[in-house]
Structures are given as structure tokens and as C-alpha cells.
């Protein structure tokens, strides 16, 4: 055989091996996304009193609204020509809403176990953080979800492009299925009384998930969204040492940093945080300053 024939045979074989490799991972991602997980949610008795509804409203309108939309009627979380689309569904009883979830067990399965009522593991729903929520917060959220004003909006289909599936199977984004990372038997944390402002702040950063972007020790990291700027160091070792509470509150309420920079809500979800009560913002600030 001539050498050019050999080159054709080798490049042809390599192409076939590469195609098989890509095909294998796309199929594997399909299997991961459409598998069924049998979960027995850890149950909680839900109170519908005014305290529960007040607590629930606080969390649902701030942290859940970040992805499910300000009116909780569903919202596109990712829309990208290469990645595809990921839609956070309509949580209300309106037309197109997930009314089948009007059942506390189903809410618990989605919220604390990352599993849909059909047993499908949810993608990117931050249930790992929500397993750290205390009983009063979990109960309040569910009580309030059951009273959400109906919004008529049909859910868009989430659809990943082959490239995203390939990367998902390879684990390039980390594991996006909360359900794989959760201890499904763990009890719901008890409520706490008499905690200091800084202790309260530490709890809040955990359930809101500031660490997911700023790093487990808040010293800054790349967030996983390739378009996003690096999430900065927000301990007193960084630029944050110069910030006072006014600067912090201003960022959380208006999206403007101490240096006068407008922060894109897509990369740092301050709009959702602007709906947190002032005492909670103070707790978070106090905790960050204590680091």
C-alpha cells in the first residue's frame, strides 16, 4: 500500500472512533436525563398559618423567583445556540402550570430531593442547597407555593443540544443532577433559636447558595457560566474589606458596586436578593465581614 492510503485508513479509523465516542456520551446523557429514581421524600407536616406564609413568601419571591420568574409562572434559565434551552417551569395553578404538584409530597420531592413527580432527576434545580433548609423554611415555602396566584403560561420544553449532552455526560459542568448528590434519608434540619447575626448569615448564604459562585470559602472563583466574569473574593481579604453595609445593601438593591460598576443580574442575581428583608441582608453582611 502507498503511504497516502495508510493515512486515509488511519484518519478514517480515528474519525469513526471519535464519532462513536461522541455518540456514546450523547446517548449516556439521554439515559441520565430520562432515568427514573424511586425516592421516598422525607415528610413534613405543613402549617398554613400566617407566620408560615410570611416565611414562605420571603423565600419564594426571592430565591425561587430567580429562576422560576418574578411571578413564578416559569422562566428560561439557559438559552444558548450551543447548549440549548433549560426552562424552570410554571409553579402556579394557572394554565400550563405544574398543577400535579399541588401535593406536599411532590413539592418535597422536587425541593429537597431534586426529583420530579415522575421520578425524573431535575437538572440544575438547586435542591442540594435546599436540603440545608430548616423545617420552618421548608414548611413555609410549601404553604406559600400552595397559595400562589395562578399565572397562565405554557412551559417551554427544555431541550439540550448534542454538544451540551456530550459535555454533560463527560461531567464538564460538574454533576447537574442534585438528586445524585443528596442523602435522601437525611432528616430536615430543626429550627434554631437565639443564633447570632453572623450565624444567621452563615445559614442564609448556604440556603441561598452564594458559595456556588463565590466558592466554598468565598474567596472567589469562575462560576461555570463561560460568559460570566469571575465571582470575586467577598471576604475581608479582598476588595470587600473597603465595603460598608451601605455599599453592600446598595449592590443587593440596585446592582451597583462600591466602585460604581453595574453588575449583570444574569451573572450575579441581585434582583432576586433585592426582595430579601433588610435584617436578612444585615445578617449576610455581618457573616461575610466576620470571615
Interacting residue ranges for ligand HEC, rule: CB under 6 A: 59, 63-64, 66-68, 77, 86, 88-89, 91, 98, 101, 110-111, 116-117, 122-126, 130, 141, 145, 158, 205, 208-210, 212-214, 223, 228-229, 231-232, 234, 239-240, 248, 251, 257, 263-264, 267-269, 273, 284
Helix (H) or strand (E) holding 235: none
Query: Cell 424511586 belongs to which residue?
Result: 38
The least CB distance from residue 284 to ligand HEC, in Å, is: 5
Which ranges constitute the DSSP H helices of 114-171? Answer: 127-130, 135-145, 162-170
The least CB distance from residue 185 to ligand HEC, in Å, is: 21
Q: What grid cell was written down for 255?
A: 446592582
Output 162 or 209, the one with its CB closest to ligand HEC: 209
CA-CA-CA-CA dihedral for 291, 209, 219, 164, to nearest 10? 170
CA distance 288 to 291: 5
The least CB distance from residue 9 to ligand HEC, in Å, is: 43
The least CB distance from residue 153 to ligand HEC, in Å, is: 14
Output 22 or 77, the one with its CB closest to ligand HEC: 77
Output 145 or 168, the one with its CB closest to ligand HEC: 145
The least CB distance from residue 63 to ligand HEC, in Å, is: 5
The least CB distance from residue 81 to ligand HEC, in Å, is: 19
Output 26 or 251, the one with its CB closest to ligand HEC: 251
Secondary structure of residue 3 in the 3-state scheme: helix
Give the closest residue to 213 by CA, choosing from 198, 192, 226, 232. 232
The least CB distance from residue 140 to ligand HEC, in Å, is: 10
Output 12 or 277, the one with its CB closest to ligand HEC: 277
Output 165 or 214, the one with its CB closest to ligand HEC: 214
Q: What grid cell was written down for 121?
A: 432527576
- What are the backbone angles phi and psi of residue 114, rounded to the nearest 5°? 70, 30
Axis-axis angle for helices 3-34, 162-170 (nearest 10): 80
CA distance 45 to 179: 22
Secondary structure of residue 110 in the 3-state scheme: helix
Look up residue 221 and give its DSSP letter.
Answer: B
- What are the backbone angles phi and psi of residue 77, rounded to the nearest 5°? -90, -40
Output 163 or 223, the one with its CB closest to ligand HEC: 223
The least CB distance from residue 8 to ligand HEC, in Å, is: 44
Output 21 or 245, the one with its CB closest to ligand HEC: 245
Q: What grid cell was written down for 208?
A: 441561598
Secondary structure of residue 149 in the 3-state scheme: coil
Amino acid at each position: 500500500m502507498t503511504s497516502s492510503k495508510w493515512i486515509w485508513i488511519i484518519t478514517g479509523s480515528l474519525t469513526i472512533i471519535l464519532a462513536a465516542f461522541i455518540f456514546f456520551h450523547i446517548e449516556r446523557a439521554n439515559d441520565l436525563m430520562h432515568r427514573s429514581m424511586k425516592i421516598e421524600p422525607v415528610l413534613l407536616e405543613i402549617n398554613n398559618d400566617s407566620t408560615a406564609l410570611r416565611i414562605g413568601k420571603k423565600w419564594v419571591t426571592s430565591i425561587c423567583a430567580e429562576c422560576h420568574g418574578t411571578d413564578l409562572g416559569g422562566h428560561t434559565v439557559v438559552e444558548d445556540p450551543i447548549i440549548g434551552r433549560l426552562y424552570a417551569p410554571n409553579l402556579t395553578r394557572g394554565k400550563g402550570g405544574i398543577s400535579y404538584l399541588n401535593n406536599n409530597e411532590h413539592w418535597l420531592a422536587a425541593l429537597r430531593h431534586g426529583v420530579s413527580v415522575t421520578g425524573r432527576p431535575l437538572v440544575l434545580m438547586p435542591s442540594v442547597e435546599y436540603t440545608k433548609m430548616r423545617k420552618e423554611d421548608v414548611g413555609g415555602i410549601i404553604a406559600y407555593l400552595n397559595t400562589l396566584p395562578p399565572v397562565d403560561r405554557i412551559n417551554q420544553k427544555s431541550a439540550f443540544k448534542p454538544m451540551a449532552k456530550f459535555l454533560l455526560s463527560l461531567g464538564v459542568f460538574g454533576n447537574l443532577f442534585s438528586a445524585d448528590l443528596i442523602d435522601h434519608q437525611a432528616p430536615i434540619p430543626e429550627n434554631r433559636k437565639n443564633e447570632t447575626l453572623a450565624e444567621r448569615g452563615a445559614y442564609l448564604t448556604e440556603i441561598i447558595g452564594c458559595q456556588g459562585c463565590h466558592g466554598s470559602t468565598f474567596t472567589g472563583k469562575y462560576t461555570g457560566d463561560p460568559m460570566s466574569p469571575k465571582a470575586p473574593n467577598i471576604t475581608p481579604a479582598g476588595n470587600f474589606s473597603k465595603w460598608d453595609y451601605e455599599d453592600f445593601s446598595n449592590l443587593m438593591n440596585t446592582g451597583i458596586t462600591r466602585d460604581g460598576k453595574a453588575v449583570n443580574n444574569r451573572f450575579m442575581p441581585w434582583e432576586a436578593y433585592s426582595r430579601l428583608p433588610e435584617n436578612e441582608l444585615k445578617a449576610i453582611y455581618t457573616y461575610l465581614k466576620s470571615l
